[in-house]
A and B are shown apart, each in its own frame.
Chain A
Amino acid sequence: MSKRGLGWLNGLVTSVFAGGVMADWEINLPEPVSPVTREIFDLHMLTAGVALVIMIIVTAVIMYSLWKHRKSAGFEADQHFHESGFGKWAWVFVPVVVLGIDLSIAGKAAKVFDLVEDTTKPELTLKVIGSQWKWTYEYLEDDIRLVANLNRDIPETDPLYLRDTDHRVILPVDTRIRFLHTATDVLHAWWVPALAYKKDSIPGYINETWSIIEKEGVYRGQCAEICGTGHAFMPIVIEAVSKEKYAAWVQDKKLAAAAALVEASADKVWSKDDLMARGQEVYAGNCLACHQAEGQGVPPVFPALKGGLITTGEIAGHIDIVLNGKPGTAMAAWAAQLNDLEIAAVVTYERNAWGNDTGDVVQPADIKAARK
Chain B
Amino acid sequence: MSTEAIHDDHHDHAPSGIGRWLFSTNHKDIGTMYLIFSLAMLFLGGASAMLLRAELFTPGLQLLDPDTYNNLLTNHALLMVFGVVMPAAAGMANWMIPLMIGAPDMALPRLNNLSFWLLPFAAIMLMISMAAPYFPGGGTPINTGWTLYPPLSIQVGMGMDFAIFTLHILGISSILAAINIVTTIVNMRAPGMTWFKLPLFVWAWMLTGLLLIMIMPVLAGGVTMLLFDRHFGTAFFDAAGGGDPVLFQHLFWFFGHPEVYVLLLPSIGVLGMVVPTFSRKPLFAYKPLVYSMMMLTALGMVVWAHHQYTVGMSQAVTTYFMIGTILISIPVGYMLFSFIFTMWRGAMTFETPMLFAVAIILMFSFAGVTGVMLAVVPADLQYHDTYFVVAHFHYALIPGALFGLYAGVFYWLPKWTGHMYDERLGKIFFWWTTISFNLTFFVQHFSGLAGMPRRIIDYSPVFAEFNMISSIGAFAFGLSHLLFLWIIIKTIRGGDKAADKPWDGAQVGTPGLEWTLPSPPPFHSFSTPPLVK
Could you list which residues of chain A lie within 8 angstroms of chain B, going by C-beta atoms? 25-30, 37, 39-40, 43-44, 47-48, 50-51, 54-55, 58-59, 61-62, 65-66, 69-72, 75-79, 81-82, 87, 90-91, 94-95, 98-99, 101-102, 105-106, 109-110, 112-117, 156-163, 185-187, 189, 191, 193, 197-200, 202-205, 207, 220-233, 298, 300-301, 330
Contacts and interface: CB of A to CB of B under 8 A. Distances in A.
Interface of B: 58-60, 66-67, 70, 139-140, 143-145, 149, 151-152, 155, 157, 238-240, 244-246, 279-282, 284-285, 288, 310-312, 315, 318-319, 322-323, 326-327, 329-330, 333-334, 336-337, 340-341, 343-349, 358, 361-362, 365-366, 369-370, 372-373, 376-379, 381-382, 384-386, 446, 449-451, 453-463, 465-466
A51 B373 contact: yes
Nearest to A27: B446
Given A58-B336, A116-B377, 6 more contacts: A91-B285, A102-B326, A113-B378, A157-B461, A202-B245, A300-B139
B385 A25 contact: no
Contacts of A229: 66-67, 70, 140, 143
A91 B323 CA distance: 21
A158 B369 contact: no
Contact of A76 (B144, B322, B347, B459): B347
26 contacts: A27-B446, A29-B382, A30-B451, A51-B369, A51-B372, A54-B369, A55-B366, A58-B362, A61-B340, A66-B343, A69-B344, A70-B347, A77-B281, A78-B346, A94-B334, A115-B378, A159-B460, A185-B151, A185-B155, A191-B451, A199-B312, A205-B246, A226-B143, A231-B457, A232-B66, A232-B458
Given A162-B458, A205-B246, A109 B334 contact: no
B318 A113 contact: yes
B348 A70 contact: yes
A174 B43 CA distance: 54
Contacts of A163: 460, 462
Contacts of A37: 382
Contacts, number: 289
A51 B288 CA distance: 24
B285 to A, nearest CB: 6
8 closest cross-chain pairs (CB), A and B: A204-B239, A197-B381, A51-B369, A232-B456, A26-B450, A78-B345, A27-B446, A207-B312
Nearest to A133: B66
A121 B323 CA distance: 29
B66 A231 contact: yes
A301 B59 CA distance: 27
B239 A203 contact: yes
Given A106-B326, A159-B460, A204-B244, A116 B378 contact: yes
B126 to A, nearest CB: 19
Contacts of B373: 44, 47-48, 51
Nearest to A155: B60
A81 B239 contact: no
B135 to A, nearest CB: 13
B457 A200 contact: no
Contacts of A25: 446, 450, 465-466
Contacts of B282: 79, 82
B143 A203 contact: no
Contact of B330 (A48, A99, A109, A207): A99
Nearest to A181: B312
The interface centre, meaning the residue of A113, A159, A221, A233 with most chain B CB atoms within 10 A of its CB, is A113
Contacts of A51: 369-370, 372-373
B377 A69 contact: no
A102 to B, nearest CB: 5
B329 A98 contact: yes
B326 A105 contact: yes
Nearest to B384: A198
A205 B456 contact: no
Nearest to A91: B288
Contacts of A75: 345-348
Given A95-B334, A156-B59, A113 B319 contact: yes
A54 B140 CA distance: 46
Contacts of B385: 189, 191, 198, 224-225
Contacts of B384: 189, 198, 224
B340 A62 contact: yes
Contact of B460 (A65, A106, A161, A228): A161
